[in-house]
Amino acid sequence: MAEHIRVLLPEEKVDTRIKEIGEAISRDYAGRQVHLVCVLKGGSFFMCELAKRITVPVSLDFMSVSSYGGDTKSSGVVKIVKDLDESLKDKDVIVVEDIVDSGRTLNYLMEMLRDRGPRSLRLCTLLDKPERRVVDVHVDYTGFCIPDEFVVGYGLDYDQKYRNLPYIGVVEFDD
Ligand code: IMP
Ligand code: MG
């Protein structure tokens, strides 16, 4: 089936908002260093743009997770496909995600990372779909709250496509 993309958040709007979040983080972490943890692959575009807008010292690390299928899916248990290279011990950590949907992934991930002894741990997401929340997750920095629609671009994919779009769009199917 053919699909097309309807623009939801144009490039300028996304860039302006990322700049604002970068400024907020720079203020909140004045005099400290932030350690950004990117959740691959979706969070990568957002993290790079965000890191460029942060004026305090920044270090970066990456991890990749996948949900277990079948019965365990509803439990929200996620499998680490690629773990972080560095320890989080005593670091001021901000997890950078593309989107919080049901909240299952982040709920699990944040608990797991908290056990690694960071000095502080916060969550920053480009997008949030609050209507879809099943599990409670505390989000510290949000780019945009969006309606319950499937979105792509800025790291988000549909069947591994469209991650490279410089804006956020909704996938619509032609009939
Ligand atoms: P959660 O555990 O349900 O919050 O799932 C979050 C993950 O599902 C995100 O990190 C995305 O990879 C994926 N996801 C959720 N909503 C969308 C969407 O609208 N477009 C693309 N991926 C999505
Ligand atoms: Mg993701």
| Domain extent listing, the chain | 10-147
Instruction: List Cβ neighbours of 152 (8 Å cut-off, separation of 6 or more).
Output: 5, 158, 161, 162, 163, 165, 168, 169, 170, 171
* 105 C-beta closer than 6 A to ligand 1: yes
Query: pLDDT at residue 147 above 90?
Result: yes
Summarize pLDDT for 6-60 with one digit per residue, the tens. Answer: 999 999 999 999 999 999 999 999 999 999 999 999 999 999 999 999 999 999 9
The tens digit of pLDDT for each residue in 75-133 reads 667 889 999 999 999 999 999 999 999 999 999 999 999 999 999 999 999 999 999 99
Cα(54) to centroid(ligand 1), Å: 25
Q: Is the CB of 102 under 6 A from ligand 1?
A: yes
For 24, other C-beta atoms within 10 Å of its C-beta total: 15
What is the spatial distance between Cα 158 and Cα 152, in angstroms, rounded to a whole number? 6
Structure tokens at 71: 């019965």
- Residue 129 CA to residue 115 CA, distance in Å, equals 27
In CATH terms, is domain 10-147 a member of 3.40.50.2020?
Answer: yes
**pTM (two decimals):** 0.95
